[in-house]
Structure 1
Amino acid sequence: MNSREEVTHSKFHRKALQVKEAQSRIIEYAKVLDTEEVPLYQSPGRYLAEPVYAPHPFPAFNRSGMDGYALIAADTEVMNEGDLIWLDIVDNIPCGAVPAVDIRRGTAARIMTGAQVPQGADTVVMLEATESREVDGLLQVGIRKLHKAGRNVTPIGFELREGELVLPAGRMIKAGDIAVLAAFGIPFVKVIRRPKVGIFATGTELLEVHEPLVPGKIRNSNSPMLEALVRESGGDPVMLGAIVDDIELARSKVQMALESYDLVITTGGVSVGDYDIMGDLIRENSGDMLFNKVTMRPGSVTTAAVRGGTLLLALSGNPGACFVGFHLFARPVILQMQGAVQPFLPEWTAVLGAEYSKVNNYTRFVRSRLEIHEGRLYAYPVSIDESSVMVTIKDSDCLIVVPPEERGLSAGDSVKVLKLPGEIRGLESMAGS
């Protein structure tokens, strides 16, 4: 058998892995990248490289919960029903000010919401529940009701104690985290570097987005989609264009990319046709191959290898399969490289909203949309779920997982779904109905 026959023969003898096993193999090589410090305002969407502990209690002082008067609760215990007690006003404390005097029995301080409660005071009476008068040039406040200690006072360390864990490592920083970091005076945040991801497509039939359509050609939609998906995952995509079906050109381009980037993703050329050059290229060094077939639809030909320590993920050229393959394999790698605690898509349970009759010997990941009706989550398969179909990608916010043993599903069945990143898009159609 000559070399060409050997390559052709090997194309049809792929050992298929279960999805979980394939994910396990590829994630093993997704090493967490080095760290860097970024300004606080640049940190949203980044992943914390180390845990953050409270450098001081928060709040750092006993804080007034409203405008009113700070006083000693015991002063109100001597009142009879309907009585009015009068306390001398000895201080006026706006926000940001430090109390000038301590509070003793028979005295009170005017205080604003958020201001520091003076020493000695243990309660704050709201302004609307008081009266005021002036006696011999001295201002006094009148209190009619009994007040318990601690009322309208947020004690020091109420939200967080000094040394307490604030944010764990591996957490993606969001707006609420920014508020906490700012409150603790942390202007720079240590995060994991964004992975640089090289992206290119293969196929003589591909046109660039700006090029006019000609017979027999299609525009390269997968590469821009992958660029957006990499960004959504926190990576830094580098577009390497499309290359014709030339294995020598592909070999040199792949090698350059593997030496330059943290992850290389290709789309197209991984099937068993005469011009599927990526499959041939990876098979040349079969010892570096992690897998070249997965028991999934769409995208069973998804292939992965590691060369020189760098992962190479070859996705199907079919848009639907490329989209699914990215979320099952590329996205977890990119998140893992950033130290994310949960790199895989979350698994939810939903009610199947419409019959799904397609059966297969492999697990099928069905592009679907989610809707909420009367507090229950429903998943509706998209109208066309073929591997080659591109337009229904935009309507999908989850993947229904259909195991091979299922010989068709009925509306109302309970199904497992993988939630895709972003909002539930089905809520938009519900709002318009």
Structure 2
Amino acid sequence: MMEETTKSGKFGRKVVQVHEAQQKLMAYASPLEMENVPIRQSAGRRLAEDITAPHPFPAFNRSGMDGYAVIAADTGAARDEETVWLRVVDEIPCGFVSEAKITPGTAARIMTGAQVPEGADAVVMLEATMTREEDGVSWVGVRTVIQAGRNVTPRGFEIRSGDKVLEAGRQITAGDIAVLAAFGIAEIPVIRRPKAAIFATGSELLGVGDPLQPGKIRDSNSPMLEVLIREAGGEPVMLGAIADDLELARTKVEMALEAYDLVITIGGVSVGDYDIMGDLIREDPDGMLFNKVAMRPGSVTTAAVRGGTPIIALSGNPGACFVGFHLFAYPVLAAMQGAPSPFLPEGVAVLAKDYQKVNNFTRFVRARLELQDGVMHAYPASIDESSVMVTIKDSDCLLVVSPDERGLIAGSKVRFIKLP
């Protein structure tokens, strides 16, 4: 690997590849402890353990439609276009269990979803029957032959008792909620959400509600990261922005390391005289994971670990901050929640327009995907500079342009990372 050193020598940096930097961080991203939450609060959380079926589903032989529960063999005479008349011995709405046993020559009126009575092995749909009354007795006429098991969902057809229905690490969706509710599991074992502290550095920063001042900019990175952390399943803790003050930054970092699962800082990692996060992290060389990555934007992204807690120092440039979060912070947060595949999914698309910017490092280009005639096309952002913020809102993927590519032309295949 190559090394890069500034004129002053104090910013000595060893360049690592993106995948190597990711693996260094992931070594400190173990799943957090389990907690139980009410089912209504579990959507989006990740299961801490496998869920097995406490009983079969359905728990009884269930009618698949409105009609009559019968013994299939009784309908055999309808083969010759005869109507088979059966005595109706009960009517079974949903939620009720019949005390009558179906014997040859009898039937029971039944509703969709109701429990099929003992003795019956099929349900004849209502439209294939007729009825009559004789001396206070109800009869149903069946005009079609039916096979045993027809229109009956047998007990345990979907899931047997003891079967695994949801696996540990799974992110709970609406469909999973339906399964959990059907089995009466009201308290769900999930991995605790990681708490991620955020603070920005820079004497140039203003609050979102502050009036604009000459030479100053509003802090757009912190609120962006707050949302990204929530979308990644974490709990953001906003520690605000501080001026370029090394002692104040040290105090905030030490406090955050004791209280939270991940610390993310914004700015102060470049090579300027006021880049205090670079200074702070270098104070403990044994805890340094990396301080330069072979990527654009965000090559100065830095990471360390203190007391087992990872610190990710992102660039203050909005584009680099956005890219750095998805490459490094997102998988850490996902792994802390037990995600079996913590990295964002990748794919291949057709480049919709030329992209000629090249670099000695892998470039991660903000872009948007569009499906055209069944083929995924990728449109790189018109302005992709590290300092540019506005194109973030139009991006749903990052194109991965390796240094081997000396410019890409429209129609080329390009790899992309799908953003959440």
Same fold (TM over 0.5): yes
Q: Which residue of 2 aligns with 1:355?
A: 354
Matches within 5 A, 1:19-418: 19-418=18-417
CA contact (8 A) 2:6 2:271 kept: no
Query: Shift of the alpha carbon at 1:119?
Result: 1.5
- The one-letter amino acid paired with 1:65 is G
SS of aligned partner of 2:78? coil
The SS at the match of 2:14 is coil
Counterpart code for 1:264: V
**2: distance between equivalents of 1:162 and 1:120?**
23
AA in 2 matched with 1:283: R
The answer to whether the 8 A contact 2:79-2:145 is kept is: no
Change beyond 3 A, Cα 1:378–1:269: same
Amino acid of the structure 2 residue aligned with 1:407? R
Task: Return the alpha-carbon distance in structure 2 between the equivalents of residues 44 and 247 of structure 1.
Answer: 41
Instruction: Give the Cα–Cα distance (whole angstroms) in 2 for the partners of residues 132 and 177 of structure 1.
Output: 42
Give the counterpart letter for 2:151 in structure 1: N
Aligned-partner SS, 1:417: strand
The one-letter amino acid of 1:226's match is L
Distance 2:77 2:178 in 1: 43
Deviations along 1:26-48, one digit per CA (max 9) or x if unpaired, are 01101211111111111111111
Give the aligned residue type for 1:172. Answer: Q
Pick closer, same or farther for the CA change 1:93–1:7 going to 2, 3 Å.
farther
CA-CA distance at 1:275 after TM superposition: 0.9
Q: Is the 8 A contact 2:62 2:114 kept in 1?
A: yes
**How much does 1:10 deviate?**
3.2
Deviation at 1:135, TM superposition (A): 2.0
Post-superposition offset of 1:7: 9.8
Residue 210 of structure 1 aligns with an amino acid whose one-letter code is G
Mapped partners of 2:390, 2:79: distance in 1: 76
Q: Deviations over 1:6-25 (max 9, x none)?
A: 993031x3111111111000
Following superposition, the deviation at residue 136 of structure 1 comes to 2.4
Task: Tell me the CA shift for residue 56 of structure 1.
Answer: 0.5
Provide runs of 4+ in structure 1 moved above 3 Å: 5-8
Q: Indicate if the aligned counterparts of 1:7 and 1:280 stay in contact, CA closer than 8 A.
A: no
Deviations 1:336-378 (A, max 9, x none): 1111111110011111111111111111111110111111111
How many angstroms apart in 2 are the aligned matches of 1:18 and 1:151? 61
- Cα distance in 2 between the residues matched to 1:351 and 1:217: 40
1:79 Cα offset (Å): 2.8
> Aligned in 2, Cα 1:334/1:7: closer, same or farther, shift over 3 Å?
farther
Residue in 1 aligned with 2:10? 10
Tell me if structure 1 keeps the 8 A contact 2:90–2:100: yes
- Write the distance in 2 (CA, Å) between the matches of 1:109 and 1:412: 66
Contact 1:365 1:400 in 2 (8 A): yes
* Matches of 1:407 and 1:7, distance apart in 2: 30
Residue 312 of structure 1: how far off its partner (Å): 0.6
Letter paired with 2:407: G
Percent same amino acid at aligned positions?
A: 69
Contact 1:32 1:339 in 2 (8 A): yes
**Distance between the aligned counterparts of 1:377 and 1:288, measured in 2?**
42
Q: Alignment partner of 1:47: what SS? A: coil
- Give the structure-2-normalised TM-score: 0.97
Q: Which amino acid aligns with 2:196?
A: V
